[in-house]
Amino acid sequence: MPAPLTRRTVLAGGAALAAGARLTPPAAASGPAWPDAVLTGDATVRVDPARFMPWEQIHAWQEAADDIGLRATATRAHHAYVDGLAERMERVGIRGVQADQVPLARWEPSEWGLDVVGGPDAGPAEVAWYVPYSGGTGPGGVTAALSAEPRSGTIGLVTVRPPQIPYLLMDLIDWDAPWQPRHADGYDPTDVYDRPWFGGIAAKNALDEHKKAGALGLVIVLDLPREVARGQYLPYDGIVHGIPAVIVDRATGARLAKVAAAGGQVRLRLQAAVRQVTTPNLYGIIPGASDELVLLHSHTDGTNGLEENGPEAVLAMAQYLARIPARQLPRSVLVVLATGHMAGTIGTDTFLRRHAGDLVARTAAAVSLEHLGARPWLPGPDGDHRIGPGYETGICFASPHPAMIAAARRARLRSRTGDARVMRPFMPDIRGESPSGFWWPGDGEGLWRIAGLPSVQFISGPAYLLNAGMPAMRFIDTHAVRRQAIAFTDAVLELARTPTIGLRRRRLDDPSTVLDVLRRFGLP
């Protein structure tokens, strides 16, 4: 059962961080003035930007979140942020805010390192980051020969590269291909989408292969320069793999490849503990004219100020929606800020399963937001990464419901943050839960895979997405964050007034529609 919201239930005795305190000013504190007038007329149908949360407040919230750095799931830093977030949810007008505790076997490292043992290249090897939830060693670590192949008694050395996806393929996955999306002049469909976060699946597979072979540890090489490799937090499935592993950049990887070729050894140290803890999902309601719900979702844990800044936009959206009289908001809005994205989406998945018979059953449509206002950080001809013009590739994924696809497309166009892609779920669901057999990347993917809801997820994945603790303000356009928040508030208002039959209507060209027809005829 959800616990009453108190500092004790959220923080479990932890003290709030200084940055977290900055996020929760008392109502009388100085700062940007919030619009507080009741909204009526056209402002209840389409957002009036002049009456939306001012940019200065959104920018200040973003700065404070960025100052926190890494918010690994269920750590003190994460829970301090959640504690302040709960207070802010109440302040913006979300009612009945509750903390719904989720059990987690939390893996937390305390020390890590890598050394070349013996030979002319003996000495420390720079570690870019640990592999979260990989495993652990004793204080002395493990010493063994490096091996490029999974072998018993060795320490594996494997280079992980993310798949390179041509933008043409992304265009073809758009729900309205080939007519959408429309592109700016200079667009080249043969350019490839190549981002570090997409290497998480390959990293997970390498862990499992080396563990199965009896390897004592694993060194994952990212083919990235030092600045980009540092802090890459992947994979983040929340499964303790039972094999200690660290990440190195391409230069260190090249050095270690020479050690491996010469039959050399390394010592890997990764001290970590696993504790059974709980970590809270937060949720509350903005009352409307009916008990039916539009779910507005993001997650609270993350690596830096971009991953995750969704809650900051959701708060601004909620403050607008809460000023609409209930009789003029056709459906109530359920705000869910979930834990556990960095531990395998355990928070959102748990919420959807736990509340399947009540809140989720009342939900007519859902909107999930992640990683807003991102600017691109791409390699130049010299290999150095630089902030590029425009915006990082952003995608709306949508369930096979025309109402959701159209609302997502309009939100993308209104936000003016790049091509208005609205893509199908495209990743095969080996768990067999998705109504269509496919899911999409992002914390909101369970809205479709688990709950089968008409749903939309906005997400971006720049090169710095998973860099733990990296200051991210230089990468984030907070004016764009505000535009996106306004655009998706429009989407929530649109979905709140769309008749249920219109929300549930599905595309005929989606596998879920075909499967439903087969089931009606008694076929598997």
- Dig out the tokens for 115 from the structure: 């050394």
- Dig out the tokens for 228 from the structure: 């980009």
Series of mean pLDDT values for 10-residue runs along the chain (524 residues): 36 40 49 93 97 97 97 97 97 97 97 92 95 96 96 96 92 95 91 94 95 97 96 95 97 96 95 97 98 98 97 98 98 98 97 98 98 96 92 97 98 96 95 93 97 98 96 97 98 98 94 70 60
CA distance 470 to 488: 27
Q: What is the pLDDT of residue 71?
A: 97
Judge whether 256 and 222 are in contact, CB under 8 Å.
no
Q: What is the pLDDT of residue 438?
A: 94
Helix/strand/coil percentages in the chain, nearest 5: 35, 25, 45
Q: What is the pLDDT of residue 8?
A: 31
Indicate the pTM of the whole model: 0.91
299 φψ region: left (φ > 0), alpha (ψ -120 to 50), beta (else):
beta
Q: What is the set of domains in the chain, with CATH numbers?
A: 7-25+51-104+279-375+388-514 (3.40.630.10), 105-275 (3.50.30.30)
Specify which residues 144 forms β-bridges with.
266
